[in-house]
Structure 1
Amino acid sequence: MDLTGQNFIGNTRSANGSNTFQGVNPANGEDIAPQYVEATADEVDRAVEKAEEAFRVYRRKSGAERAKFLEAIADEIMALGDELIDRCSKETGLGEGRLTGERSRTVNQLRLFAEVVREGSWVDARIDRSEDAPDIKSMKMALGPVGIFGASNFPLAFSVAGGDTASALAAGCSIVVKAHPAHPGTCELVATSILRAVEKTGMPDGTFSMVQGISYDVGTALVEHPLIKAIGFTGSFKGGKALYDAATSRPEPIPVYAEMGSTNPMFFLPGALKEKGSEIAEGLVNSVNLGVGQFCTNPGLVAYENSEEAQQFQQTVTDHFKKAEGGTMLTAGIQSAYKKGLEKLLQQEGVQLVANGEENGTSTTTGVPHLLNVNSKHFLANRALEEEVFGPSTLTITADGPEDLVEIAQNLQGHLTATLYGTEEDLEQYSDLVDVLQRKVGRLIFNGFPTGVEVNHAMIHGGPFPATTDSRSTSVGTTAIERFARPVCFQNFPDSQLPDELKDDNPLDIWRLENGERTK
């Protein structure tokens, strides 16, 4: 497919701007054709206006129709074949195996949301009738046009057709995507797949648009547009907080569902270190360095009590880190931020460099693994030590006893995950630690590593601020659809004018709450 470097305003291509940029191969620093034209304020406005027009039609599409649309997107992405993988690999430095797996995750979550909307009970239909009270019915309905920002580290699964897109389209929202400038060609390929699916399934023009841009102006124009009703974002704290501030400062504030990263603390308890410290050490090093540490679930903090077993564990981790090889990071900017983050950490009182890995000299954006250590006293006295360093590093925290571990947990900010490695006896002994961590994270893990987020009905990928801007939601899993819907109540409406989900004869055969009883 010939890439054009243009924006997609609904089903129409557009390139009215004068600012251009290109994708860059992070492995060698070379520009990748073609030139991409940054969207103008007028083009963003036209994209959102089209999304509003499309929403008035798309919101009324049945769950079955939206399901066919989502499945068609998945089919069209797969039809791109090797072209998508090759282009994405050039723009990100990620390998074929990683990207093939990510593509599978992308299409599988589209198909999973298709199942959800085809079945239909997600709308939480509620009906209350009685002779001496009004006839009250309610359900969740789509918010309106949604702005979605693609992520740098997952160019497929958290990008143009990623989880935010899948859940927003499933809910019945039209969308305008702000493509990530680190992989513009990948974004264009996926956008063409979505537009083919729009055409094949008869969805209205404007159901999907995508604007390109390397400056903040494009994203700001999208967030501040009065017709946009919600924002989905995955990225840095700085970027997510800026969008959140802009959205809440609007004359009509709107929700921003920003997943902004995390240091995902791990607590290694005495029983686990005694029974399988060597095995855990190897797993930790692999988890920290997976994908050159460029995961929002990368374990950036590791806490344990000082003991003979703990000292042996630390030595084993150190030995593994010294042998760990660096890898190509996604962009030169990400590599620069990683280096600056490490420098900042090493300037903090009590922080020591324990080991660093081997530098791979074949890449211009290599991220070298680093292992650091600090004692619990210094960690508790310095909030900066909890900040995310996006890359292949982790900070181990040596505690003096169980009370220190609990205090560390109590002083944590919000994170996506926390992990407890231990025996069942450990869990009983450290029940206070478990209780504290339940309030700090969206996902609490026992005897596993946080990297790797399953896409299913039960998964929660969220957490208290600053991990996200809304701890009540998730960006992964089928409940992500609820972010882009709101409850609407109908009182004393004639049956013929109600949505099918609320009609008396339940034509969709969905589960509903009728007079307090769950029933079909």
Structure 2
Amino acid sequence: MTLTGRNLIAGAWREGESHFTAHDAASGAQLAPVFAEGSANDVAAACAAAAAAQGAYAALPLAERAAFLRLMAAKIDALGDTLTQRAMLESGLPEARLNGERGRTVGQLRLFAEEVENGGWQGLRIDHAQPGRAPLPKPDLRLRNVPLGPVAVFGASNFPLAFSVAGGDTASALAAGCCVVVKGHPAHPGTSELVAGAILEAIREAGLPEGVFSLVNGTANALGEALVKDPRITAVGFTGSRAGGLALMGHAAARPVPIPVYAEMSSVNPVVLMPARLEEAAEALASAYVGSLSLGAGQFCTNPGILLAVESAATRRFIAAVGEALPAVPAQTMLTAGIQSAYTKGIEAIAAHGATLVGAGAEGSSTCGRAQVFTVSGADFRANPALGHEVFGPSSIIVTCADLAEVAAILEGMEGQLTATLHMAPADYDAARGLLPILENRAGRIIANAWPTGVEVTHAMVHGGPFPATSDGRSTSVGTLAIARFLRPVSYQDLPAALLPKALLDGPSPVLRRVDGQYEA
């Protein structure tokens, strides 16, 4: 596929009145072609087409919806090296990482296809009428979840495939029966266009209305604002900065009809090294910690930004081993010049608040992020709230605490997190049990004896957490439960059988339902 630099609006590739350029993340050089800046008119046209297609797409038999998702996966996978090479240029991420990310992208589309066919997400319930009940008869009530309507999705900078045009938000929205309008991330417009072209091929081959999907690229914040404010959009999926997420939440709340924004924003993902485990494996833990915090130039939303340990000889061994491991960590290209600049400023802020540098990785070019780890006492950490802010990149702070009570106090004072991790030996279990209620209130995923970087796409995964990790701590953006964000329940009271949705008719059902309070076998 030859890149055109155009926006995809309901099956038509549109030119723009103004343009922007993509850049090679490693060198800063401009990449061809130039890309059309999306306009308010493009947004309006995409949203109108999505609204027009919504009824037909929502009514599509589940088997056909699942087949479309699988077709999308096949078309994206078929892009192969063309997609990988463009994404490498625009993101600076290595080939192996992006090939893996492409596999994750198509894998989650196929997983959602299975979920659609399973049908359990519909939440089917039937409560039969009891006309003879005294003092008043009971009506016949039947419930299912239905799609919200057209969804706006914002591509993420750090996952140009798995959290972007055909990423988890798009996959779960389409699985729910919602048409999608994507605002592509301006750092990788070529990658976005390639994926959008594959989706268009799938739409046409499946015989679907072309308004099911549109892609609008552009650099202006006003473009995203126009998308969120369009009255035909019913929900928003976003992965990015806290400032960006809060801005979208504000726009969505100020609409005449407010809509939900599912924003994944900010997390430092605390890791607790329990004393017995630290005593037995300080050096091994140090090596794995450095690997986790520097993976992908630290540009993961689950990067271990804060590590807590009780002051001891084992903790000092751990810190020394971290310092020894860091110089071997190469500097890595960061996603954009803006992200690299923000990372540099974040490191400077940590040092300005009195944290001591433990060690640093190798230096690199001006487009690179250099791994750096700092240490600070528990008392100083609690006295400087700014030390608890996320620094997006390959850095972390080791907080040495007086005792486990101080560890607990620091955890209780933290904001909401995507993850919280406990490294522990059996001798630590009693103490860890006391921390679990705190972690449950602070994080969407609690990890034992592993590192938080990496998110498995499964039925039981939660990639979410209390604010500001996400805007709605009841949701997840990864795993099949993500479909619930784009559904709402509808109850049908005394509706004639001839008008009921097929899934709610009496008789045998291939889908698990709750009938008169009991789940069918």
- Whole-angstrom CA distance in 1 between matches of 2:33 and 2:279: 56
- Whole-angstrom CA distance in 2 between matches of 1:89 and 1:430: 42
- Whole-angstrom CA distance in 2 between matches of 1:43 and 1:187: 16
- Whole-angstrom CA distance in 1 between matches of 2:81 and 2:254: 44
Structure 1 position 355, deviation (Å) = 1.1
Partner deviation per Cα, 1:61-91 (whole Å, 9 max, x = no partner)? 1111110000000000011121101111111
Structure 1, unmatched stretches of 5+, are none
- Whole-angstrom CA distance in 1 between matches of 2:36 and 2:404: 56
Structure 1 position 48, deviation (Å) = 0.1
Partner deviation per Cα, 1:242-275 (whole Å, 9 max, x = no partner)? 1011111111110000001311000001111111
SS in 2 for 1:167: helix
- What is the aligned counterpart of 1:351 among 339, 355, 375? 355
What is the one-letter code of the residue matched to 1:37? A
- Whole-angstrom CA distance in 1 between matches of 2:383 and 2:497: 63
- Residue 127 of structure 2 aligns with which residue? 128
- Whole-angstrom CA distance in 2 between matches of 1:396 and 1:87: 37
Partner deviation per Cα, 1:202-248 (whole Å, 9 max, x = no partner)? 11120000101101011000000011000000011111111011111
- Whole-angstrom CA distance in 1 between matches of 2:38 and 2:386: 37
- Residue 516 of structure 1 aligns with which residue? 517
Partner deviation per Cα, 1:257-299 (whole Å, 9 max, x = no partner)? 0001311000001111111111111100000000000000000
Are 1:244 and 2:249 matched, yes or no? yes
- What is the aligned counterpart of 1:317 among 310, 313, 322? 322
CA contact (8 A) 1:9 1:47 kept: yes
Q: How does 1:396-435 map to 2 (within 5 A)?
A: 396-435=398-437
RMSD: 1.0
Structure 1 position 497, deviation (Å) = 1.1
Are 1:66 and 2:84 matched, yes or no? no
Structure 1 position 499, deviation (Å) = 1.4
- Residue 395 of structure 1 aligns with which residue? 397
Partner deviation per Cα, 1:186-216 (whole Å, 9 max, x = no partner)? 0000000111110111111200001011010
What is the one-letter code of the residue matched to 1:423? A
Structure 1 position 54, deviation (Å) = 0.5
- Whole-angstrom CA distance in 1 between matches of 2:437 and 2:166: 37
What is the one-letter code of the residue matched to 2:357? L
CA contact (8 A) 2:6 2:13 kept: yes
Are 1:160 and 2:165 matched, yes or no? yes
CA contact (8 A) 1:67 1:170 kept: yes
- What is the aligned counterpart of 1:466 among 465, 468, 479? 468
- Residue 451 of structure 1 aligns with which residue? 453
What is the one-letter code of the residue matched to 1:20? H
- What is the aligned counterpart of 1:306 among 297, 307, 311? 311
Partner deviation per Cα, 1:29-69 (whole Å, 9 max, x = no partner)? 10101111111111100100000000011010111111000
SS in 1 for 2:330: coil
CA contact (8 A) 2:416 2:467 kept: yes
TM-score by length of 2: 0.98
- Residue 176 of structure 2 aligns with which residue? 171
- Whole-angstrom CA distance in 2 between matches of 1:437 and 1:204: 46
Q: How does 1:21-100 map to 2 (within 5 A)?
A: 21-100=20-99
Are 1:268 and 2:269 matched, yes or no? no
Structure 2, unmatched stretches of 5+, are 132-137
Identity across the alignment (%): 49
- Whole-angstrom CA distance in 2 between matches of 1:60 and 1:345: 53
- What is the aligned counterpart of 1:188 among 185, 193, 218? 193
Are 1:207 and 2:212 matched, yes or no? yes
- Whole-angstrom CA distance in 2 between matches of 1:22 and 1:500: 50
CA contact (8 A) 1:427 1:434 kept: no
- Whole-angstrom CA distance in 1 between matches of 2:27 and 2:412: 44
CA contact (8 A) 1:356 1:371 kept: yes
Structure 1 position 430, deviation (Å) = 3.4
Are 1:217 and 2:222 matched, yes or no? yes
What is the one-letter code of the residue matched to 1:493? L
TM-score by length of 1: 0.98
What is the one-letter code of the residue matched to 1:516? G
- Whole-angstrom CA distance in 1 between matches of 2:110 and 2:330: 37
- What is the aligned counterpart of 1:333 among 329, 338, 351? 338
- Whole-angstrom CA distance in 2 between matches of 1:9 and 1:162: 19
SS in 1 for 2:90: helix
SS in 2 for 1:504: coil
Structure 1 position 445, deviation (Å) = 0.5
Partner deviation per Cα, 1:440-480 (whole Å, 9 max, x = no partner)? 00000010000010000000000000100000000000000
Structure 1 position 425, deviation (Å) = 2.3
Are 1:13 and 2:13 matched, yes or no? yes
Structure 1 position 130, deviation (Å) = 3.2
- Whole-angstrom CA distance in 1 between matches of 2:55 and 2:164: 25
